[in-house]
Amino acid sequence: MKSLEKPIWNSLTREILEQIVITPPDEEVRKKVLKNWDAVAKPIDSMGRFETLTAQIGAILGTEQINIDKKAVVIMCADNGIVEEGVTLSGQEVTVGVAGLMAKKQSSVGRMADSIGADTIPVDLGINAKDPIPGLKNKKIRCGTRNFVKEPAMTEEEALRAIAAGVEMVYSCKEAGYKMLGTGELGMGNTTTSAAVAAALLQCEVSEVTGRGAGLSDTGFLRKQQVIKEAIEKYGLYHADPLKVLATVGGLDIAGLTGVCIGGALYHVPVVLDGVISMAAALLAERMVPGTKDYLLPSHKGKEPAIEMLIKELGIEPVIDGKLGLGEGTGAVMMFSLLDMALSVYHSSATFNDIQVEQHKRL
C-alpha cells in the first residue's frame, strides 16, 4: 500500500484536529461511474440512489473498478454515567452482556454480518468493567463517562483520545485490506448523549430530538429531556464548539465514531453510517473537520427523532426506512448487502451494446 499520511493518533490535540484538511473525492471518477451506469441495459437512472451512491464510493476509492468485497463494522462500545439519572430501561450490565455476545458474533449485528460475509470489530473504549472482555479490541479510556448532570462527561483530552482511537481503527483496517467500513456502537444511555449532542449542535429544542431509545417509561422520558436541558443551560452548549459539546455531554462511543468518520475522510475509506448515535458522531466530525461528510454514506432512517434533523443538516438521505432502532451497526450491514447487489449489476449486467440496441440518451 502507498504510504498514508503521517499518523496523527498518538498525540491528537485540538490544534491538530483543527488543522486537518480533507482532499475531496475524485470528481472525474464519479462522472465515469455514472457514465458506466448509463451503458447498462436498463432505463436511465433506474437504479436510482444506488447509481449516485456507487459513484460516490468510486470517487472515494479513486477507481471506477469498484471493489468493496472486504467490509467490516467497527463497533465502539462504552458506558455512560448519565444512566444514574434513570434515563434508560437497562443498566450498564447489559452493555457488558451484549459486548460478550458481540465478541462471539452472537449479537444481532454479528448474525447479520455473518450472513453476508462481513466482519465485525467490537472495540472497548469505555465499558464499565475492570477486566478486559475477550474478543474485544481493548482501547479503554475509562470505565464509563461521568454523569453529565453533575460534571462534564469527559475531559477534552479523554474525548480526543477516543477520537484518535477511531481514526487509528480506520488506518489499521485500510492496512488490513478493508475497502468499506460501517459504524456501530453499544452502550446504555447513548441515545441520551446523542440527543444532547444533536440539540446543542442543531441549536434546537430538546423535545424535538429526544426519543425513547431502547424503551422508556413516561417518567423516564421526561427525566431524559430534563437532564439534557439542564446540561445545555449549565454548560452553555448552544454556543459551544463541537469538541466541547462532545466532551461535556457526549460519550466515548460517540467520540470513537467521530474518529471513524474523520479517519474515513483522511484515508479515503467509505464509511456507512448506522443510526442516531452514528449520525450525531457524523455531524460532530463534519463540524470539527469540514469535508468529512463527503466520505460518509447513509443507511437507514431509524426511529429516534434526532435522525431526521441530523440527516437534513448533513445532506445525506438514507435509503432504508425500516424503523430500525437496534444500533450495533445493524443498519450499516443491511446497507452493505444492498450495495453489493447494486455493484453486481454495475459490474456484470449486459450493456445496450451487448443487445445491439442504441444506448438511451439523457433527455
If we measure between CA atoms, which residue out of 177, 168, 243, 183 comes closest to residue 5? Answer: 168
186 binds ligand DMD (CB under 6 A): yes
Would you count residue 325 as binding ligand NCN (CB under 6 A)? yes
Please identify which residue in the block is written with the cell numbers 496523527: 8
Q: For residue 126, give the H/E element and its range.
A: strand 119-126
User: Are the C-beta atoms of 251 and 224 separated by less than 8 Å?
Assistant: no
Burial of 262 (0-12, 13-18, 19+ CB in 10 A): buried
Q: For ligand DMD, give the closer residue by CB, 61 or 96.
A: 96
Q: How far apart are CA 333 and CA 72, in angstroms?
A: 9
Binding residue for ligand NCN, selected from 92, 107, 128, 191, defined by CB under 6 A? 191
* Segment 113 to 172, residues that bind ligand NCN, using CB under 6 A: none
Pair 28, 183: CB distance under 8 Å: no
Is residue 94 at the binding interface for ligand DMD, with CB under 6 A as the rule?
Answer: yes
Q: How far is the CB of 317 from ligand NCN (least distance, A)?
A: 16
Torsion of CA 332, 324, 210, 278, to 10 degrees: -10
Catalytic residue flag (residue 175): no
Cα 185 from Cα 176, distance rounded (Å)? 21
User: Is residue 214 part of the contact set for ligand DMD (CB under 6 A)?
Assistant: yes
Q: Please name which of 337, 267, 345 lies closest in space to residue 300, comparing C-alpha atoms.
A: 337
Cell of 336: 452493505
Give the number of residues in contact with ligand DMD, rule: CB under 6 A: 8
Of 341, 335, 194, 198, the residue nearest 270 (C-alpha): 335
Q: State yes or no: residue 90 binds ligand DMD (CB under 6 A).
A: yes
Binds 277, which of ligand DMD, ligand NCN, none (CB < 5 to 8 A, cut-off by type)?
ligand NCN
Binding residues for ligand NCN, rule CB under 6 A, total 22
Catalytic residue among 64, 168, 185, 328: 328
**Does the protein bind ligand NCN through residue 304 (CB under 6 A)?**
yes
**Minimal distance, residue 271 CB to ligand DMD, in Å:** 19
Q: Which of 110, 126, 182, 189 binds ligand NCN (CB under 6 A)?
A: 189
Q: Among the candidate windows 7-15, 44-52, 242-250, 324-332, which touches ligand NCN by CB under 6 A?
A: 324-332
The three cell numbers of residue 243 are 469538541
Give 97 or 290: the residue with its C-beta nearer to ligand DMD.
Answer: 97
Closest CB 106 distance from ligand DMD, rounded Å: 11
Distance in Å, CB of 111 to ligand DMD, minimum: 12
Hey, what long-range contacts does 61-67 have (CB within 8 A, 24 or more apart)?
61/29, 61/179, 61/268, 61/270, 62/26, 62/29, 62/268, 63/29, 64/29, 64/32, 64/33, 64/36, 66/33, 66/343, 66/346, 66/347, 67/179
Cβ proximity of 109 and 220 under 8 Å: no
Q: How far is the CB of 347 from ligand DMD (least distance, A)?
A: 34
Closest to 236 in 3D by CA, of 309, 162, 152: 152
Per-residue x/- marks for ligand NCN, 253-292, CB under 6 A? ---------------------xxxx---------------
Q: Which is nearer to ligand NCN, 58 or 259 (CB)?
A: 259
Binding status of residue 124 toward ligand DMD by CB under 6 A: no
Q: Can residue 327 be called a binding residue for ligand DMD (CB under 6 A)?
A: yes
**Which secondary-structure segment (H or E) carries 271?**
strand 271-272
* Positions in the binding site for ligand NCN (CB under 6 A): 88, 90, 185-192, 213-214, 274-277, 302, 304, 325-328
* Positions in the binding site for ligand DMD (CB under 6 A): 90, 94, 98, 186, 214, 326-328
- Which residues carry out catalysis? 328
